[in-house]
Structure 1
Amino acid sequence: MQTQNPILDEISKLTTAAMGLAQAAGEEAKAAFRSQTDRLVAEMDLVRREDFDALKAEMAVLRAEIDALKAARPARKAPKAP
């Protein structure tokens, strides 16, 4: 047989309410932190990783082309001194 204890019921309700408030406060803090971080990143004018990787690959292709052009060109002779 189960007995009803009003004091324990109230403590249980208060604890549940406090946990809900703590969870809501945690979510609000997380949202505020994310907002501040996004603002800081925007002010720093950072580049996205995908854009950086694409530019890096393009630069590698260009360097290879430059090296191929340098290898194909005949060697220059130094001008003679008068």
Structure 2
Amino acid sequence: MQSENPIIADFVKIANSAAGTLAGMGREARDGARERMKEALGGLDFVSREEFDAVKDMAGLAREKVDVLEARLAALEAKIAGSTSD
């Protein structure tokens, strides 16, 4: 027969209670942090990946057009500079 020491039994009960309390505190802290993050990020406007890619493509096309226009402008300026030096 196994004899149970009341001091050890009480210690085990206290340890189990402390473990449960710590686990509950951890869950509450995690949930609270998650809620604060949602509130902080709630006011921000995020775009979808599709919207981002569309704007990125538009910016790339605009950059290409700017490069073409810069080359045309440089050619015109060179032409004007050449005709005024005659």
TM-score tier by shorter-chain length is 0.5 to 0.7
Equivalent positions of 1:1-82 (< 5 A) are 2-43=2-43, 45-47=44-46, 50=49, 54=53, 57-58=56-57, 59-67=59-67, 69-70=68-69, 73=72, 75-77=75-77, 78=80
Q: Check 1:18–1:42 CA distance in 2 against 1; reply closer, same or farther (3 A cut).
A: same
Compare the two structures and name the one with the higher helix fraction: 2
**Runs of 5+ unmatched residues, structure 1:** none
User: How many residues are treated as equivalent by the alignment?
Assistant: 78
- TM-score w.r.t. length of structure 2: 0.61
**Structure 1 position 15, deviation (Å):** 0.9
Query: What is the RMSD computed on CA atoms of the aligned residues?
Result: 3.4
**Runs of 5+ unmatched residues, structure 2:** none
Structure number with greater Rg is 2
- TM-score w.r.t. length of structure 1: 0.63
Percent identity at matched positions?
22
